[in-house]
Amino acid sequence: MSQQCCEVQQNGNVMILACSGGSNVGQLSNQAAVELTKEGFGKMFCLTGIGGHLSGFVQSAKDVPAMIAIDGCSVGCAKAILEHAEIPLKAYLVITDLGIEKNKNFDLDRETIEKVKNAVKSACKDLPRGVGSKSVCCG
């Protein structure tokens, strides 16, 4: 059991918080978070739990060494939720800053998803990768 726990933590030491909003860029944030979790880059976590001020979610985001928030647009809902819960930003990305226009087209194309995923990875480059797994892992 403890081995299983450690494997999970080591594979997902970057907490990924996506705004998952109701536009193409919101859903791009969600899709990128899902795929980066599946690929083992990080682990998607519930921004809504933080927004609800549930202590497990808030404390997790405060204590995790490596975390990125992804907002679809400059309205910055994810950033605002973290500020409201007094959680410091560690890495941050706004998808419209990548030159992707906000609209209501939910047919996301592969090229754009990959562009967002690469931008997320780039935004995380200064995060303490590896430190997170050691700190969070049961070992």
Residues near another protein (CB under 8 A):
1-2, 4-6, 9, 15, 43, 45-46, 49, 54-64, 135-139
**Of 38 and 104, CB closest to another protein:** 38
**Of 28 and 70, CB closest to another protein:** 70
The set of long-range contacts for 124-131, using a CB threshold of 8 Å and a minimum separation of 24, is 124/14, 124/41, 124/42, 124/66, 124/68, 124/91, 126/91, 127/14, 127/65, 127/66, 127/67, 127/68, 127/90, 127/91, 128/65, 128/66, 129/13, 129/14, 129/66, 130/13, 131/65, 131/66
For residue 121, the minimal CB distance to another protein (Å) is 20
For residue 137, the minimal CB distance to another protein (Å) is 8
For residue 119, the minimal CB distance to another protein (Å) is 23
